Amino acid sequence: MRRSVYDGRIIRLEVERVRLPNDVEIDLDVVRHPGAAAVVAATPEDVVLIRQYRFAGGGFLWEVPAGTLQPGESPEAGARRELEEEAGMVARELRGLGSILTTPGFCDERIHLYLALGLERLPMRHDAEEVITEVRAFPWPRIGPMIDAGEIVDAKSLIALYHGARNLSVVLDSGR
């Protein structure tokens, strides 16, 4: 049995009666999310991060460009759209890096990760509800120290950067 508790702009909250693999029946709160795409816009020398305001995260965060998929949109199309909207870039090549479940204990959100190569700049066109103050290319050797210093804390970005660096054979080393 499934009961809708809240239906918002991006998420839906449901309470579901489920039987667990150990045969116990319980009610679970489940956040339903349409999915998202995140993009590591990079060369072997550097990677592009955006500085975006995240109210729930407590302020401005350095992140890879990312966003919620629109109804009927493929993850690759969403990745291309978000790269253009948030970073003002288009990619000649987009490589899939897999997908992640953000918080599987209570949410079904799946973020599809991509590596964008052959980048070209375009005019910026952020959505009205996005506050992006900076789009900057960082040398790959700077990323490890930024992570160690807590300057990059967003989970999707950390995982995307890891996979992007591995794909490009870049070492995320803090120099220790």
Amino acid identity at 24: V
CATH number given to 34-167: 3.90.79.10
Return d(Cα 66, Cα 157) in angstroms, integer.
9
Return d(Cα 176, Cα 174) in angstroms, integer.
6
Amino acid identity at 81: R
**Residue 64: closest CA among 147, 148, 169, 170:** 147
Return d(Cα 144, Cα 33) in angstroms, integer.
30
pTM summary value: 0.94
Catalytic residues: 130
pLDDT tens series, the chain, 176 aa: 999 999 999 999 999 999 999 999 999 999 999 999 999 999 999 999 999 999 999 999 999 999 999 999 999 999 999 999 999 999 999 999 999 999 999 999 999 999 999 999 998 777 788 899 999 999 999 999 999 999 999 999 999 999 999 999 887 776 55
In the chain, CATH 3.90.79.10 covers 34-167
